């Protein structure tokens, strides 16, 4: 098999020329039969993987920059320059750690992977030092960054790369360190003794279009909005609304690149709207958000989220969703006959500990002979696997099972930002309470 792969590499590279860009490789223990290459949100190419795990393809109209390589559910970043012939090899069971590149363009991509892996190794170490004094913490992180920059300079001596590739690698090196600075600042309980720790911010451009889909870059900006909007005002009453309005102001005044601006505003909106319960405060936030955001698609999405939040208010009929019953019949949740109040809960067979905990909690509640029915809705698409999981449990009165026909549609209507949500309705289907699974027993005991 190694000889076959070596022959594949030789033939692959020999067929390429300076004007064309190629990708190929071998995937061990593949999850599915295809990979895809994407730039930002645009699909560049889907490529089939053969029975031996081999794939190859020419990529048309490639411009220098950052791309995504997907083999679902995994993904990694790639740097492409026109004329690259990139060959990768990976074992899906150990995705990032096993990913190795050969061929033209391999050096910068191996270096990028190495940056990510070293950051993962350092992450817990840096977190453990968050209690250091300002000067000591700054000295530690400056030292780590200097070591990385020195290694990067050695890399550049031996490898010629474009200005775009340099920009990506340099930010991949700096951003995790700068994000750690922001985390340190946000955790401080008293004002800074000196502003020296902020020096790193002079090295960050918040409007780099070519990094607008680079997660470390977006993560840094999100951390920055937190600190810029909550600058150690520990002695004042914390207002989620005012804090998030200030975050919008920071974006409005400092981020001009349209894609980055839209992504950060969208993140802030979701983070706030999914946690806020006051409709008056939501209205105030939404007015400012829509006055600032210029992306019609994002605005439409956030408006729809607002509509869905309104529909889930106490006293409203629970939104209609399509379900599959255990016997295979199609149902609508609003058509189910209920003699008791109903508690809707959600689970996935891919989250085993959550599923076991949820089912044990429901059985414990039902042992107390309460006048409620549970409707457990599975979010997965594999009907057979869902049934096989349910077959491990005994049937129980007042505990019914369904699977969502369209999870995306259901998650939007139910504003399902996590699987710990529980929605309680009365016999008429009117919402009486929305809470978390962890609070459910306490609520039922008090009611």
pLDDT digits (tens, 9 = 90+) for 23-65: 998 888 877 888 899 998 899 999 998 988 888 888 887 889 9
Q: What is the pLDDT of residue 17?
A: 55
Q: In the predicted model, is pLDDT for residue 19 greater than 80? A: no
The proportion of the chain whose per-residue pLDDT surpasses 70, expressed as a percent, equals 94
Structure tokens at 298: 């994002």
Q: 322-446 architecture in CATH?
A: 3-Layer(aba) Sandwich (3.40)
Rounded to whole angstroms, how far apart are CA atoms 312 and 121?
A: 43
Q: What is the pLDDT of residue 238?
A: 62
Structure tokens at 440: 């459910």
- Is residue 228 within 8 A of residue 256, CB to CB? The reply is no
- Is residue 64 within 8 A of residue 162, CB to CB? The reply is yes
Q: What is the pLDDT of residue 5?
A: 45
Q: In three state form, how does the secondary structure of the chain look?
A: CHHHHHHHHHHHHHCCCCCCEEEEEEEECCCCCEEEEEECCEEEEEEECCCCCEEEEEECCCCCEEEEEEECCEEEEEEECCCCEEEEEEEHHHHHHHCEEEEECHHHHHHHHHHHHHHHHHHHHHHCCCCCCHHHHHHHHHHHHHHHHHHHHHHHHHCCCCHHHHHHHHHHHHHHHHHHHHHHHHHCCCCCCCCHHHHHHHHCCCCCHHHCCCHHHHHHHHHHHHHHHCCCCCCCCCCHHHHHHHHHHHHHHHCCCHHHHHHHHHHHHHHHHCCCCCHHHHHHHHHHHHHHCCCHHHHHHHHHHHHHHHHCCCCCECCCCEEEECCCCEEEHHHCCCCCEEEEEEECCCCHHHHHHHHHHHHHHHCCCCCEEEEEEECCCCHHHHHHHHCCCCCECCEEEEEECCHHHHHHHCCCCCCCEEEEECCCCEEEEEEEHHHHHHHHHHC
The topology under which CATH files domain 2-103 is Immunoglobulin-like (2.60.40)
Q: What is the pLDDT of residue 233?
A: 52
Highest mean pLDDT, choosing among 14-18, 139-143, 274-278: 139-143
Give per-residue pLDDT as tens, 259-273: 999 999 999 999 999
- Is residue 22 within 8 A of residue 58, CB to CB? The reply is yes
Give per-residue pLDDT as tens, 200-244: 999 999 999 999 999 999 999 999 999 888 754 554 556 889 999
Mean pLDDT of the chain: 89
Give per-residue pLDDT as tens, 130-186: 889 989 999 999 999 999 999 999 999 999 899 999 999 999 999 999 999 999 998
Residue 199: exposure state from Cβ atoms within 10 A (0-12, 13-18, ≥19) = exposed
Q: What is the pLDDT of residue 6?
A: 46
Q: In the predicted model, is pLDDT for residue 8 greater than 60? A: no
Strand 372-378 vs strand 341-347: parallel, antiparallel, or unpaired?
A: parallel
Give per-residue pLDDT as tens, 333-371: 988 877 889 999 999 998 999 999 999 999 999 998 788
Rounded to whole angstroms, how far apart are CA atoms 428 and 435?
A: 19
Q: Which residues of 157-184 are buried (b: 16+ CB within 10 A; e: fewer)?
A: eeeebeebbebbbebbbbbbbbbbbbeb
Q: What is the pLDDT of residue 231?
A: 56
Which of 51, 52, 48 lies closest to 71, judged by CA? 48
Domain ranges of the chain: 2-103, 114-311, 322-446
Rounded to whole angstroms, how far apart are CA atoms 416 and 59?
A: 38
Rounded to whole angstroms, how far apart are CA atoms 37 and 47?
A: 8
Q: What is the pLDDT of residue 186?
A: 87
* Phi-psi map region of 25: left, alpha, beta (phi>0 left; psi -120 to 50 alpha): left
Phi, psi of 365 (to 5 degrees): -65, -45
């Amino acid at each position: 098999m190694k000889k076959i792969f070596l022959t594949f590499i030789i033939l692959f590279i020999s067929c390429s020329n300076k004007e064309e860009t190629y990708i190929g490789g071998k995937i061990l223990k593949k999850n599915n039969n295809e990979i895809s290459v994407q730039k930002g949100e645009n699909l560049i190419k889907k490529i089939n993987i053969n029975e031996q795990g081999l794939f190859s393809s020419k990529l048309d109209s490639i411009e220098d920059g950052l791309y995504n390589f997907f083999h679902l559910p995994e993904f990694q970043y790639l740097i492409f320059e026109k004329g690259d012939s990139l060959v990768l090899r990976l074992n899906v069971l150990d995705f990032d750690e096993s990913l190795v590149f050969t061929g033209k363009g391999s050096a910068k991509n191996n270096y990028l992977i190495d940056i990510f892996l070293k950051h993962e190794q350092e992450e817990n170490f840096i977190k453990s030092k968050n209690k250091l004094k300002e000067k000591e913490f700054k000295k530690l992180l400056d030292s780590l960054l200097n070591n990385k920059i020195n290694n990067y300079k050695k890399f550049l001596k031996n490898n010629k790369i474009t200005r775009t590739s340099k920009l990506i690698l340099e930010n991949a090196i700096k951003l995790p360190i700068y994000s750690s600075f922001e985390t340190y600042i946000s955790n401080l309980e008293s004002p800074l003794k000196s502003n020296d720790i902020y020096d790193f911010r002079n090295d960050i451009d918040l409007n780099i279009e070519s990094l607008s889909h680079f997660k470390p870059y977006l993560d840094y900006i999100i951390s920055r909005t937190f600190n810029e909007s909550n600058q150690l005002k520990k002695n004042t009453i914390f207002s989620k609304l005012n804090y998030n309005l200030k975050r919008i102001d920071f974006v409005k005044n400092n981020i001009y690149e349209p894609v980055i601006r839209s992504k950060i505003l969208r993140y802030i909106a979701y983070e706030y709207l999914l946690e806020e319960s006051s409709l008056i405060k939501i209205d105030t936030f939404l007015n400012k958000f829509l006055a600032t955001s210029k992306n019609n698609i994002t605005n439409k999405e956030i408006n729809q989220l607002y509509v869905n939040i309104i529909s889930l208010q106490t006293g409203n009929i629970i939104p209609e969703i399509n379900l599959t019953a255990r016997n295979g019949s199609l149902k609508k949740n609003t058509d189910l006959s209920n003699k008791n109040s109903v508690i809707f809960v959600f689970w996935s067979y891919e989250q085993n500990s959550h599923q076991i905990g949820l089912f044990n909690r429901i059985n414990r509640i039902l042992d107390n002979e309460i006048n409620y029915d549970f409707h457990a809705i599975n979010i997965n698409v594999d009907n057979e696997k869902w049934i096989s999981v349910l077959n491990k449990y005994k049937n129980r009165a007042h505990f019914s099972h369904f699977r969502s026909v369209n999870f995306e549609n259901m998650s939007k209507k139910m504003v399902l930002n996590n699987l710990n949500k529980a929605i309680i309705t009365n016999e008429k289907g009117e919402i009486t309470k929305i809470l978390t699974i962890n609070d459910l027993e306490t609520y039922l005991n008090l009611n």
